[in-house]
């Protein structure tokens, strides 16, 4: 583990994150993030964009992709309702030799090394936790650790982005924090082509027709505003593939049609309530709720 000494205090740094997750190119979103991080001269400071959308629409992925365009290390902090100020900055731990070791958070590590920090699901944190980051989000660009007794200034190359889910299990952001997390960039569900490309990348073994069925089902649920995401689609496809392989490898006499397995997967992964959309998907042969054909209707 890398270390750095600040004002006589040794900090143990976090490791950067390397993600292997579904990627899709939302070039307009990536450009907006990169524009936020651009600095005009040495007196300018980067903006801290707030990526907002339903769970699973690719907010973290897009922030990660933007960071990689800059060839920067990425450090992701997963926020929760239990996140404490010290979790965001420096946490004391007892080492093997019974001494206190100060461990820098992913955010502070990115500050020190000039990387990119992503605070994921940031609106799950309380105001008390946000207050500890307030100096970092304006021209001061530093945080203070009461535990370690030091002030940590951000490297000029440090960049920050936060993601926020649109759901009920979140805190309302205080105004003084909202004003520091600008601009707000809304990310919607992927289009048909984007969703299919992601599924195809993650499920290269999936037969083309079944791939289409999963995407059509997801597109119908998006129209109704359901939170089912591409992540759910990948899980559905993986279950179908595994069930097919299991039946084949065990010489099972049970024969199931692909649509039957798709229905089973949807029920197990999304719950029985999601079957209402599967029923509409079958009855309308891939048409939208407005009766308009989707891009690729059922054969």
The answer to whether residues 176 and 215 belong to one domain is: no
Cα of first residue to Cα of last residue in the chain, in angstroms, is 56
The answer to whether residues 30 and 163 belong to one domain is: yes
Q: What is the mean pLDDT of residues 9-17?
A: 94
In a domain, 299, yes or no: no
Please report, for the domain that includes residue 66, its CATH number. 3.40.50.300
pLDDT tens-digit map of 134-172? 999 999 999 999 999 999 999 999 999 999 988 755 678
Q: Is the pLDDT of residue 291 over 60?
A: no
The answer to whether residues 71 and 208 belong to one domain is: no
Of the candidates 157, 186, 215, which is a domain's last residue?
Answer: 186
In a domain, 290, yes or no: no
Q: Is the pLDDT of residue 297 over 60?
A: no
The answer to whether residues 115 and 262 belong to one domain is: no
Mean of pLDDT over the chain: 87
In a domain, 296, yes or no: no
Pairing verdict, β 90-94 and 100-104? antiparallel
Q: What is the pTM of this model?
A: 0.82
pLDDT score of 89:
96
Q: Is the pLDDT of residue 229 over 80?
A: yes
Three-state secondary-structure class, residue 1: coil
The answer to whether residues 143 and 227 belong to one domain is: no
The answer to whether residues 122 and 53 belong to one domain is: yes
The most confident of 106-120, 180-194, 243-257, 275-289, by mean pLDDT = 106-120
The answer to whether residues 160 and 219 belong to one domain is: no
Q: Which two tokens stand for residue 269?
A: 């992964």
Instruction: Indicate the pLDDT class of residue 39, thresholds 50, 70 and 90.
Output: very high
Of the candidates 151, 171, 186, which is a domain's last residue?
Answer: 186
Q: Is the pLDDT of residue 299 over 50?
A: no
The answer to whether residues 153 and 267 belong to one domain is: no
Contacts of 254 (CB under 8 A, 6+ apart): 247
The answer to whether residues 170 and 198 belong to one domain is: no
User: ∠54-35-158 over CA atoms, to 5°?
Assistant: 90
Specify the higher pLDDT residue, 291 or 47: 47
Instruction: List, as one string, the DSSP characters of 43-78.
Output: T------EEEESTTSSHHHHHHHHHHHTT--EEEEE
Range of the domain at 170: 3-186
In a domain, 23, yes or no: yes
Number of neighbours of residue 240 by Cβ within 10 angstroms: 25
User: How many domains does one find in the chain?
Assistant: 2
The answer to whether residues 51 and 166 belong to one domain is: yes
The answer to whether residues 260 and 182 belong to one domain is: no
Specify the higher pLDDT residue, 6 or 22: 6
Q: Which of 228, 294, 241 is nearest to 267 (CA)?
A: 228
pLDDT score of 96:
78
């Amino acid at each position: 583990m890398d270390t750095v000494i600040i004002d006589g205090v040794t900090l143990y740094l976090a490791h950067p994150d390397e993600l292997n997750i579904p990627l899709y190119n939302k070039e307009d979103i990536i450009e907006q993030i990169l524009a936020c991080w651009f600095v005009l001269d040495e007196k300018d400071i980067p903006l801290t964009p707030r990526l907002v959308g339903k769970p699973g629409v690719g907010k973290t992925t897009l922030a990660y992709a933007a960071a990689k365009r800059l060839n920067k290390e990425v450090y992701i902090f997963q926020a929760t309702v239990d996140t404490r100020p010290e979790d965001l900055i420096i946490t004391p731990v007892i080492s093997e030799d019974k001494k206190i070791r100060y461990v820098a958070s992913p955010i502070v590590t990115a500050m020190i090394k000039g990387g990119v920090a992503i605070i994921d699901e940031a609106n799950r944190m309380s105001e008390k936790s946000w207050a500890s980051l307030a100096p970092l989000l304006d021209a001061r660009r530093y945080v203070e650790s009461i535990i370690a007794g030091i002030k940590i200034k951000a490297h000029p190359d440090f960049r920050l982005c936060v993601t926020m889910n649109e759901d009920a299990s979140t805190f309302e952001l205080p105004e003084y924090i909202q004003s520091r997390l600008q601009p707000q960039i809304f990310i919607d569900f992927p289009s048909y082509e984007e969703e299919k490309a992601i599924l195809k990348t993650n499920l290269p073994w999936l037969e083309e027709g079944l791939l289409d069925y999963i995407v059509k089902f997801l597109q119908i649920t998006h129209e109704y505003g359901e939170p089912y995401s591409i992540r759910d689609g990948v899980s559905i496809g993986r279950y179908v593939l595994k069930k097919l392989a299991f039946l084949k490898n065990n010489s099972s006499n049970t024969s199931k049609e692909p649509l039957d397995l798709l229905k089973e997967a949807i029920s197990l992964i999304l719950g029985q309530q999601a079957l209402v959309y599967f029923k509409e998907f079958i009855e309308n042969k891939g048409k939208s709720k407005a009766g308009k054909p989707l891009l690729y209707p059922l054969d």
